[in-house]
């Protein structure tokens, strides 16, 4: 699937859904990352979901950038 097709299929989807739709993460991995993000927020730390997924070694930086590229319109 090309980048333009991916952009159309994920339009309006949050980062975690895009990561799953692109085959980079599972539902369980995204849910764990979201729980981590919520705990960090409760402690006053803001961290992007993509960086949490990288820290968890679910995705690498190349995959992170590929997901972020889907936001370019």
The full set of domain ranges for the chain reads 3-69
**What's the CA gap between 26 and 24, in Å, rounded?**
7
Does the pTM exceed 0.85?
Answer: no
Please count the residues of the chain: 73
In eight-state DSSP terms, residue 59 is S
Cβ contact 49:34 at 8 Å? yes
In eight-state DSSP terms, residue 25 is -
The sign of the CA dihedral 14, 18, 19, 21 is: positive
Tens of pLDDT along 23-60? 999 999 999 999 999 999 999 999 999 999 999 999 99
Any idea which residue has 């990288």 for tokens?
54
């Amino acid at each position: 699937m090309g980048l333009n097709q991916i952009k159309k299929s994920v339009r309006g989807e949050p980062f975690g859904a895009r990561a799953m739709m692109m085959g980079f993460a599972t539902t369980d991995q995204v849910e764990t990352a979201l729980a981590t993000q919520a705990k960090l927020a409760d402690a006053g730390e803001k961290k992007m979901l993509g960086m949490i997924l990288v820290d968890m070694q679910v995705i690498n930086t190349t995959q992170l950038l590929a997901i972020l590229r889907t936001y370019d319109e």
